[in-house]
């Protein structure tokens, strides 16, 4: 255990051994897996009741049935990943799955059962029934259980409403020693032996997304500003069936609904997906999303919708499996037992992220990443359904092997918390509101389901202009002037909600630029990335795209999997 002494301030009983940024499934499970004698800070910009994991409906994929095997799960994952999965990472994920599920059961997660056995269902692109679920609120069941366990642990300090702005980097070579965090009206420097980024994805950068409002890509933006290596940021998965209602927020209609037999129809009742892929509704998500997009284009209704028809599924089965979806649809006046649900694609999951090894280590010493923030190599160009919660668990538990140095010099920041009078922030507010509204629409239009060089270049130019303007805001310049280790109390500060809005916009501008530039860099179509001007996969692009700072480059060719998987399988 690290030998730390006095705390920085009375607000944080620090230094901590490990600071975790994010309190979804990845952050919570990581905190529980760390040694119980370590002092752990768990930071969340909301509170413990809100996370993207909480919205996860589908389930957790794991080999549990006699007719299944890890080899089948590996092949399914590699097929979905369209040639960019790291085979070693996929095998590791699959082989650890059963033990992680057992761990959740022991912690108290109430998965659905058939008699005494865990119930399994099949989802798109899985060759076997291997998805465990808790009705249609699996993420909520997992997060609620993990949250209760975290709150029982004396060694874990939960810091709610804590918005992390940047990493605290020291030394040569650089080491991460903590974070710069905004807590209500104060800026603090929280010191730790290691920092774990577990902030989830960035779906809010798109106008249509199944992600909750807090999914603004903060972890990836923080890591990029610190110079960490990022990978495959152009690969965003678009879920094909999000509820489309003029008054309703975008709500995910789970993959499992199609796995149970729901059919996708157009307004004329045509079950059109089989014209695009032989598996129809059970084709990979990116194929289904593009098929819906293209079909609506062909019909002359590009902003329209299709329909998800559950009427072929027995009513008792629907009530048992999808009570939350029933409730949400009823709230918006949709009786899914009598009529199909209007749906359309929406941004759902980010395959790219901060590059890590199998132990979660990033390219910066002392900095780790888990969950959707990380790029572990398991998802490739297109995530297999229900592998995401599994990834949170498998790689979160790897942090129990984290080795802290026997001793680290205590950082000695300014002991006095100073006052900083902010310039009139009200002048920034109209610009922040305007760009926060315009940015997701721009990214959806230019880097949504289908992309083109001209649109990408125009969007990059606009986002770069906004980033320059953001850097000139009074709030931005005030925060940049705070020296490392200098605690600050903000005077004449805006409400915490405004400060968070400012910080999240900074993250969104950062990740928008990364997604757009990554999409322009990769001149082919593969998995979740589809280029109208380069509609086919190319063997020379069977590489990862990497970025450090402003430098974009290719990895070495990805080692092909040890079986024949057609290159265009997930883009055909």
Confidence of residue 321 (pLDDT cuts 50, 70, 90): confident
Query: pLDDT tens digits for 334-375?
Result: 999 999 999 999 999 999 999 999 999 999 999 999 999 999
Average pLDDT over residues 214-234: 98
Query: pLDDT tens digits for 51-103?
Result: 444 444 558 999 999 999 999 999 999 999 999 999 999 999 999 999 999 99
Q: Decide if pLDDT at 1 tops 60.
A: no
pLDDT given for residue 122 in this prediction: 85
Beta bridge pairs of residue 159: 43
Angle at 407 between CA 406 and CA 412, to 5 degrees: 160
Return d(Cα 61, Cα 391) in angstroms, integer. 10
Q: Quick check: 374 and 366 in contact, CB under 8 A?
A: no
Return d(Cα 523, Cα 515) in angstroms, integer. 14
Query: pLDDT tens digits for 518-566?
Result: 999 999 999 999 999 999 999 999 999 999 999 999 999 998 776 545 4
Return d(Cα 253, Cα 310) in angstroms, integer. 11
Return d(Cα 445, Cα 491) in angstroms, integer. 40
Return d(Cα 569, Cα 572) in angstroms, integer. 6
Q: What is the helix (H) or strand (E) element at residue 431, kind and residue range?
A: helix 429-447
Confidence of residue 13 (pLDDT cuts 50, 70, 90): low
Confidence of residue 483 (pLDDT cuts 50, 70, 90): confident
- Supply the residues annotated as catalytic: 285
Q: Decide if pLDDT at 3 tops 60.
A: no
Q: Decide if pLDDT at 308 tops 80.
A: yes
Mean pLDDT across the chain: 90
Q: Quick check: 117 and 304 in contact, CB under 8 A?
A: no
pLDDT given for residue 567 in this prediction: 41
pLDDT given for residue 572 in this prediction: 32
pLDDT given for residue 569 in this prediction: 38
Return d(Cα 238, Cα 286) in angstroms, integer. 6
Q: How many CA atoms lie within 13 A of 294 on its CB side?
A: 15
Return d(Cα 85, Cα 560) in angstroms, integer. 9
Q: Decide if pLDDT at 275 tops 90.
A: yes
Average pLDDT over residues 16-36: 96
CA distance to 44, 200, 251, 350, 503, per residue, from 50 (Å): 9, 12, 16, 19, 18
Its sign, for the CA torsion 353, 25, 506, 345, is: positive
Q: Decide if pLDDT at 112 tops 50.
A: yes
Average pLDDT over residues 308-323: 94
Nearest CA among 368, 434, 461, 281 for reference residue 26:
368
Query: pLDDT tens digits for 154-163?
Result: 999 999 999 9
Average pLDDT over residues 203-215: 94
**Alpha helix stretches (DSSP H) within 121-217:** 138-152
The pTM is what?
A: 0.91
pLDDT given for residue 535 in this prediction: 95
Phi, psi for 178 (deg, rounded to 5): 155, -160
Q: Decide if pLDDT at 143 tops 50.
A: yes
Query: pLDDT tens digits for 395-441?
Result: 999 999 999 987 777 777 666 678 888 888 888 999 999 999 999 99
Pairing of strands 251-252, 263-265: unpaired
Query: pLDDT tens digits for 281-295?
Result: 988 778 899 999 899
CA distance to 113, 303, 405, 506, per residue, from 371 (Å): 27, 32, 24, 22
Nearest CA among 189, 216, 49, 288 for reference residue 488:
189
pLDDT given for residue 240 in this prediction: 92
Pairing of strands 236-243, 418-421: unpaired
Both tokens assigned to 571: 């883009």
Q: Quick check: 139 and 53 in contact, CB under 8 A?
A: yes
Cβ burial, residue 244 (10 Å; 0-12/13-18/19+) = buried
Query: pLDDT tens digits for 42-60?
Result: 999 987 665 444 444 558 9
Q: Decide if pLDDT at 184 tops 90.
A: no
């Amino acid at each position: 255990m690290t030998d730390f002494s006095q705390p920085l301030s009375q607000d944080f009983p620090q230094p901590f051994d490990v600071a975790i940024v994010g309190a979804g499934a990845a952050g919570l499970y990581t905190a529980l897996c760390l040694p119980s004698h370590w002092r752990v800070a768990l930071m969340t910009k909301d509170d413990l009741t809100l996370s993207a994991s909480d919205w996860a409906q589908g389930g957790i994929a794991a080999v549990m049935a006699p007719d299944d095997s890890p080899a089948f799960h590996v092949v399914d994952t590699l097929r979905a990943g369209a040639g960019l999965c790291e085979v070693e990472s996929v095998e590791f994920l699959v082989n650890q799955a059963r033990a992680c599920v057992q761990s959740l059961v022991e912690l108290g997660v109430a998965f659905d059962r058939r008699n005494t056995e865990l119930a399994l269902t099949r989802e798109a692109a899985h060759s076997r029934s291997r998805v465990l679920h808790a009705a249609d609120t699996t993420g909520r069941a997992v997060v609620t259980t993990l949250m209760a366990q975290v709150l029982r642990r004396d060694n874990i300090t939960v810091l709610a409403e804590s918005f992390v702005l940047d990493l605290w980097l020291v030394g040569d070579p650089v080491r991460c020693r903590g974070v710069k965090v905004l807590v209500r009206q104060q800026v603090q420097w929280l010191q730790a032996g290691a920092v774990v980024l577990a902030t989830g994805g960035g779906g809010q950068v798109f106008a249509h997304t199944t992600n909750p409002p807090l999914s603004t890509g903060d972890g990836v933006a923080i890591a990029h500003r610190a110079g960490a290596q990022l990978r495959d940021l152009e690969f965003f998965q678009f879920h094909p069936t999000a509820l489309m209602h003029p008054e309703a927020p975008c709500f995910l209609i789970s993959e499992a609904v199609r796995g149970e037999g729901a059919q996708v129809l157009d307004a004329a009742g045509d079950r059109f997906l089989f014209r695009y892929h032989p598996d129809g509704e059970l084709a990979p998500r990116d194929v289904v999303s593009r098929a819906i997009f293209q079909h609506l284009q062909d019909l002359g209704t590009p902003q329209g919708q299709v329909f998800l028809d559950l009427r072929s599924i027995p009513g008792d089965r629907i009530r048992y499996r999808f009570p939350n979806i029933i409730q949400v649809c009823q709230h918006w006046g949709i009786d899914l037992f009598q009529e199909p649900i209007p749906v359309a694609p929406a941004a759902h999951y980010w395959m790219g992220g901060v590059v890590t090894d199998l132990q979660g280590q990033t390219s910066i010493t002392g900095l780790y990443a888990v969950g959707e923030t990380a790029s572990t190599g398991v998802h490739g160009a297109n995530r297999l359904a229900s592998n995401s919660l599994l990834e949170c668990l498998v790689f979160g538990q790897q942090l129990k092997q984290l080795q802290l140095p026997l001793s680290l010099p205590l950082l000695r920041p300014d002991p006095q918390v100073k006052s900083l009078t902010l310039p009139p922030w009200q002048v920034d507010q109209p610009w922040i509101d305007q760009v926060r509204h315009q940015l997701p629409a721009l990214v959806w239009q230019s880097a949504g389901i289908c992309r083109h060089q001209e649109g990408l270049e125009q969007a990059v130019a606009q986002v770069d202009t906004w980033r320059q303007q953001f850097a000139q805001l009074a709030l931005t310049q005030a925060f940049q002037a705070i020296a490392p280790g200098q605690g600050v109390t903000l005077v004449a500060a805006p409400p915490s909600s405004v400060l968070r809005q400012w910080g999240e916009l900074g993250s969104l501008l950062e990740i928008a630029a990364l997604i757009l530039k990554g999409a322009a860099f990769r001149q082919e179509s593969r998995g979740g990335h589809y280029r109208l001007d380069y509609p086919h996969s190319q063997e020379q692009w069977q590489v990862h795209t990497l970025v450090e700072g402003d430098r974009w480059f290719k990895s070495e060719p990805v080692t092909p999997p040890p079986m024949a998987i057609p290159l265009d399988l997930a883009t055909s």
